[in-house]
Amino acid sequence: MKFFVDTADIAEIRDLADSGLLDGVTTNPSLVAKSGRSFLDLVAEICDVVDGPVSAEVASTDFETMLAEGRKLAKIAKNVTVKVPLTPAGLKVCKAISSEGTMVNVTLCFSAAQAILAAKAGASFVSPFVGRLDDIGQEGMGLIAEIVEIYSNYEHFTTEVLVASIRNPMHIVESARLGAHVVTAPPSVLKSLFNHPLTDKGLAQFVADWQKTGQSIL
C-alpha cells in the first residue's frame, strides 16, 4: 500500500518525506488556501521534495477551462497528477489529459458506479471519500470493498483506488485489508499509526534499565 499525505504544509511534507514512508501528496483548494502560498509555486516546491505523484486540483468546473488548467499544471513537473472532479466535464478532461500521458486523480467519488466511470475514462487514481460517507450514516469502507472487487474483475482497469477523507488509523488498516492501492491522510493520522501504549511502556522500561547500567554506547 502507498501512503500519500493530504496537506499543503511544506514543512509537514518534508518531515514525512525524510521518514521514507511517503509515496505521494494530495492537495485541494481548501488546503492551499490554508497555506497562504501561491498555488503554482507551492505545487512546484512539493514536486521537488516528493518523487511520487503530487495531486494538484483544477479550480474550474467547465470542460474548456479545466482542460487548460490541467495542461498548465501538468507542465510544472513530471510527477504532477491533475486532480479533477467526478463530473461529466471532469471525466472528459481526464480522458483528454490521460491520453497525453499525464496522471489524473478523479476526486469526490461517492459510489461504485462513479468509480467505474473513472476507470473507463483512464484515471490513474480514483478518490472515494470514506469519512464524508460515514458522516451521513453510510458505510465508507463498504464502498472501498465494492470498488476493489469491481476493479479486480477487469485486467484492463489500471486505475488505483486512492482512499480519501480518512479520519483515523483504522480507516488505513481497513483499507489495507480490503486491498486498496493508496491511502491519503492528514499528517496527524499518518503519524498516529506509530502509537501504541505498550510500545511507550516498553521503551520507558528499556531506557530506565539502561540508565541503571551507567554505560554509554557513544
Pairing relationship of beta strands 54-57 and 125-128 according to DSSP bridges: unpaired
Hey, what's the cell of 180? 486498496
Residue with cell 478523479: 106
Q: Which of 2, 34, 83, 92 is catalytic?
A: 83
C-alpha cell at 190: 499518518
**In 10 A of CB 52, how many CB atoms?**
16
The question of whether 201 is a catalytic residue gets the answer no
Distance CA 125, CA 176 (A): 16
For residue 150 the three cell numbers come to: 469491481
Alpha-carbon span 192 to 215, nearest angstrom? 32
Residues β-bridged to residue 83: 57, 105
Terminal Cα distance for the chain, rounded: 37
Question: Would you tell me how many other CB atoms lie within 10 Å of the CB of residue 102?
Answer: 19
Residue 85, SS3?
strand
Tell me which residues are annotated as active site.
83
